[in-house]
Structure 1
Amino acid sequence: MIFKITYQESLAQVPLRENTKSMFLEATDKVEARAKFSANTPYNIEFIQEISGAHLQYEREHNADFKVMEF
């Protein structure tokens, strides 16, 4: 499954919507996605969402930064 993780790069600042970034990660479930992301980045996770079907296709076509990260 592919998960979209939205995050803030700073743990010290209050999260601002304008600073939210996203990353795509392959994992079997949300727990594994969170563990992989947390173990490999120092970022503050906002939300983890499983994407598939039309949503995944939309992200692939309209997100110039779409890349499934491998840790």
Structure 2
Amino acid sequence: MIFKVYYQDTLGEVPVRERTNAMYVEAETEEEVRKGLKNRDYNIEYVTPLSDDALSYEKNNNDDFEVEQLDQ
């Protein structure tokens, strides 16, 4: 399953919408996504699974679309 992760680059700042980034991660569960990103200094705001339609939309409308593989 592909998840869309909304995050801030650093843990030390208050989240600001204009600085929110997004990445796409392949994993089985949201917990697996959060555990896989734990070692990065990201402030994860929200993790959401993408339906087939949402995934298709992201692929077609995002030139920077790339799915991250988590180190297990």
- Alpha-carbon distance in structure 1 between the residues aligned to 2:26 and 2:66: 10
Q: Tell me what 1:5 maps to.
A: 5
Q: Tell me what 1:49 maps to.
A: 48
Structure 1 runs of 4+ off > 6 angstroms? none
TM-score, normalized by length of structure 1? 0.92
Structure 2 gap ranges (5+): none
* Counterpart secondary structure, 2:38: helix
TM-score, normalized by length of structure 2? 0.91
Structure 1 gap ranges (5+): none
* Counterpart secondary structure, 1:38: coil
Counting aligned pairs with the same residue, the percent is 41
Higher normalized helix content (fraction of residues): 1
Shift of 1:44: 0.4
Shift of 1:52: 2.1
The answer on 1:58 being equivalent to 2:57 is: yes
The answer on 1:22 being equivalent to 2:22 is: yes
What root-mean-square deviation, in Å, do the aligned CA atoms of Structure 1 and Structure 2 show?
0.9
One-letter amino acid of the counterpart of residue 43, structure 2:
N
Shift of 1:64: 1.5
